[in-house]
Structure 1
Amino acid sequence: MSEAEDFARLMRELKERGGLSYGVLARRLHTSTSTLHRYCNGEALPAEFAVVDRFARACGASAPEAVDLHRAWLLADARRRAGAAAPTPVPETAAPDPPPVPVPVLVTEAEADPAPALTAEPAVTVVGPAAAGEPVVRPTWYRRRAAVAVAAGLAAGAVAVALVAVTGPDRGTPQTGTGTGTGTGAGPGAGSRGPAASAPAVTPSADGAAPTGSAAGPASPSAASGGPAPAPTSAPPPGTAPGQAPAAPLRAAVRSHVWAAGCDHAYLSERGPASVPAPPVEADAPAWASAQRAVHAGNQIVEVTLHGTGGGAVVLEGLEVRVAARRTPPAWNVYEMSQGCGGGLTPAVFAVNLDAPRPLARPVAGNDAGNRLPAPSFPMRVSAVEPVVLRVVAATTGCDCDWSLDLRWSSPAGSGTLRLDDGGRPLRTSAATGRPVYGYALEQGRWSR
């Protein structure tokens, strides 16, 4: 059973138990009877949570039943969004191999008669994603350069041993191998061990830090001479960096095109009425507005659904309004999505005046057919089984504003701020005072003033 079918089943069960007809429920939900039929049959899905909440309360659902219905709607809505926004896969193009590196004469001799030490690829310190367990695929030119490095290291070791043998204080005295290596790094026992177990292949950097390739050899100079081995350098364990805020244990779904009562809204567009198509339904508003390069006119309703991602609860502490830019409102046309609609429900919201020097999210009470709905207030509790819906109404009469919301949260794992915006871009609301206003005439099939 799909998510939409599961949601429709829960709606049918609540309706049958409540004993209310489709007509009565449709009036209480401020929608049509045919639309409610489609909800209960799984042919359509409510665009906003307010419809689901009113349906649950009208049918007398208990608190656990209302949570189950809300969870089913969230899953069905997420599935619908994922299906509508599924990206087209783009085939990846393999990067061309880098050009071959010129090989010196030393490499040619080494490859013609490779030493046993060159049969295995030398170990290297891996930095980046490969350190997390990803396979490292090295082309042929990389292995050739590794062979060059090892051969050069062996040659340098042979030269160092020769120098020690010539300049040492006791050339004829056999070495015991129990002392500590000095000078070039070859131990006292290097004369009897041969170059393969002597000098390091890489010189330390000027600042004293161990170079990346210093761990490539099979044994360090200290280990070859019997001295203490240097402490290996390692990357810090994965996790939150010092001083960095922990990741928010929340998941937020932001709807930036919410219409009052599901039908009342207005947009600004620079296009003329002959070039603008008929108004869409609320669920198709984002695509319609994007195609018309339209901006919310006068006010914007934003609905944020939050639920926890862990096993514990998260406390929501408050909302802060961030206005990123204020511009002069564009001289565009206003297009109203409906010429008259509404109902007896006024949801409780956080009201934001974008024209204020420092806008605040102010709690405002609502009304449902004469019954007062209490204003939302912080702190709030949210978890994986207790979602929270925040409704914000932003208005302006004097600016074309870019804005966003910062949600403060805290949990046993830490605290932080979650940015709420329009998919990584700021929300945008513009004043529309004095602009030409158009409504859509259904009988004529065109926009008119």
Structure 2
Amino acid sequence: MAEVEVFAARVRGLKERDGRSYEALGRRLGVSASTLHRYGSGAAVPESFAVVGRLARLCGADADEVRELEELWRRADHVRRPPAAPAAGPVTAGGTGAGPGRATANPPGPEPAGDPAPAPVAAPDPGAAPGPAPAPVAAPGPASGTAPAAEAPVPAPPRRPRKVWLVLGAVAGVVALALGAVLLPGRGPEPRQPAEPPAAPPFTYTVASLWENGCGHTYLADRPPARVTAPPLPADAARWAGALGAVDGGQTLVRVTVQGKGPSAVVLHGLHVRVVGRARPLPWEAYRMDEGCGGAVTPRRFTVDLDAPRPLARSRSGYDASGQEGRTIPAVSFPYAVTAAEPEELLVSARAAGCDCRWFLELEWSAQGRSGVVRIGGPGGEAFRTSGRAKGSAPVRAYDTAKGRWITGSESGQGG
């Protein structure tokens, strides 16, 4: 079957382009290596396109390639499992099939036994002379055949006003409720059932704020240089910034580590950005933590432009220049599977120049028939905050360890 072979060849091409084994790809997708091998060899065609679509995106296929692969899968699936012919309906005496909703005629047969039909009553002759009126027919009496004596009409009781009946009905209702409470002990009002909290996701995650390459970062603080202490170590940065009420200036670098709770795979489908507050850039002093630093390895990451109307987390590749020949670190491609033994780190670099933005990350996941979205914020659950610098702000300050104070670039060449 040519359609199946064409589809299988495309699956093999995706696998070869990615470079990973069927076992490695299967772990990411939550399926076995043998299943993926059968798809690539043409021995089997998946019942749905979902697994193969995730495989294509995991191997770096773009939207056009995914649509083309879906069309090839549809043709292969049609050849491997052609649609069944519709079943013919029963044939009636007239020779036509009775389909759904079509009534068939009953075959002729004897009439069912039952009570005989009443004899027809002759219509009166309009030309006949009027005769005596027919005598009334008496109702059947007792077994003796005698007719019962006529009873005198009983007068109706006097009618009570409508308002009296309403009052009596209300009193009867109250009495019935009281009797029910006495005769049926323990039948009090039903307790109010509280809503069940949503089930916890089948994975854990940790959040950490970082400096670029472990040394480069800028904070904005509404304090003069004389009231700002020396730069902290990266491990103490959160405490130092919290004491000053400082916020990230221009960039926030966040690392999210996701790990499954068991051996079953949790599929991560996407990482989204939710901006919950926008304001003008802060006119505060800017304090840089270093004089510039660099690293041999630029890790892969997601970049976010918070100034955009709808910020998106865009996956970027990294670069390792530590060896003699540099190598590119492939970008993270969703969907991505994690387990307890195979966690994943998501590095997000969010930048802002024209706003004071408060934002969250939202991680979309599915596992074992469940799905959901987890909102990720700072270590205390609060929104991340990144602000650009207002126009006309003072120059960025760096710390001069020899002088023991914060200085601007123009002061760096002056004597102590």
Q: Structure 1 length normalisation: TM-score? A: 0.47
Q: Which residue number in structure 2 is paired with residue 249 of structure 1?
A: 202
| Pair 1:221-2:183 in alignment | yes
Quote the sequence identity (%). Answer: 45
Q: Which residue number in structure 2 is paired with residue 429 of structure 1?
A: 386
Q: Which residue number in structure 1 is paired with residue 370 of structure 2?
A: 414
Q: Which amino acid aligns with 2:207?
A: V
By how many angstroms is 1:310 displaced? 4.0
By how many angstroms is 1:446 displaced? 1.0
Q: Which residue of 370, 382, 399 maps to 2:355?
A: 399
Q: How does 1:188-337 map to 2 (within 5 A)?
A: 203=178, 221=183, 241=196, 246-255=199-208, 257-337=209-289
**Retained in 2: the 8 A contact 1:245–1:416?**
no
By how many angstroms is 1:292 displaced? 1.0
What value does the CA root-mean-square deviation take over the aligned residues? Answer: 2.9
Q: Which residue of 360, 372, 378 maps to 2:334?
A: 378
Q: Which amino acid aligns with 1:254?
A: V
Q: How many residues align?
A: 230
**Retained in 1: the 8 A contact 2:218–2:249?**
yes
By how many angstroms is 1:382 displaced? 1.3
Q: Which residue number in structure 2 is paired with residue 447 of structure 1?
A: 406
* Cα pair distance change 1:234/1:263, threshold 3 Å: same
Structure of higher RCO (CA pairs closer than 8 Å, 6+ residues apart): 2
**Retained in 2: the 8 A contact 1:315–1:410?**
yes
Q: How does 1:352-391 map to 2 (within 5 A)?
A: 352-369=304-321, 370-391=326-347
* Cα pair distance change 1:235/1:374, threshold 3 Å: same
* Cα pair distance change 1:431/1:222, threshold 3 Å: closer
Q: Which amino acid aligns with 1:341?
A: C
Q: Which is greater in Rg?
A: 2
**Aligned to 1:280, what secondary structure does the other structure show?**
coil
Q: Which amino acid aligns with 2:299?
A: P
**Retained in 1: the 8 A contact 2:283–2:390?**
no
By how many angstroms is 1:307 displaced? 1.1
Q: How does 1:152-191 map to 2 (within 5 A)?
A: none
Give distance in 2, aligned partners of 1:394 and 1:270: 22
* Cα pair distance change 1:401/1:234, threshold 3 Å: closer
**Retained in 2: the 8 A contact 1:246–1:416?**
no
By how many angstroms is 1:222 displaced? 6.2
Give distance in 2, aligned partners of 1:439 and 1:283: 19
**Retained in 2: the 8 A contact 1:264–1:338?**
yes
Q: Deviations over 1:218-260 (max 9, x none)?
A: xx8369xxxxx98996887x9x84xx754212211111x3001
Q: Deviations over 1:382-417 (max 9, x none)?
A: 122211111000001100000111100101141001
**Retained in 2: the 8 A contact 1:259–1:282?**
yes
Q: Which residue number in structure 2 is paired with residue 96 of structure 1?
A: none
* Cα pair distance change 1:222/1:326, threshold 3 Å: closer
Give distance in 2, aligned partners of 1:203 and 1:309: 55
Q: Structure 2 length normalisation: TM-score? A: 0.51
Q: Which residue of 300, 313, 318 maps to 1:348?
A: 300
Give distance in 1, aligned partners of 2:339 and 2:178: 56
Structure 1 segments unaligned to the other structure (5+ residues): 1-62, 64-182, 186-201, 205-209, 215-219, 224-228
**Aligned to 1:296, what secondary structure does the other structure show?**
strand
**Aligned to 1:437, what secondary structure does the other structure show?**
coil
Q: Which amino acid aligns with 1:393?
A: S
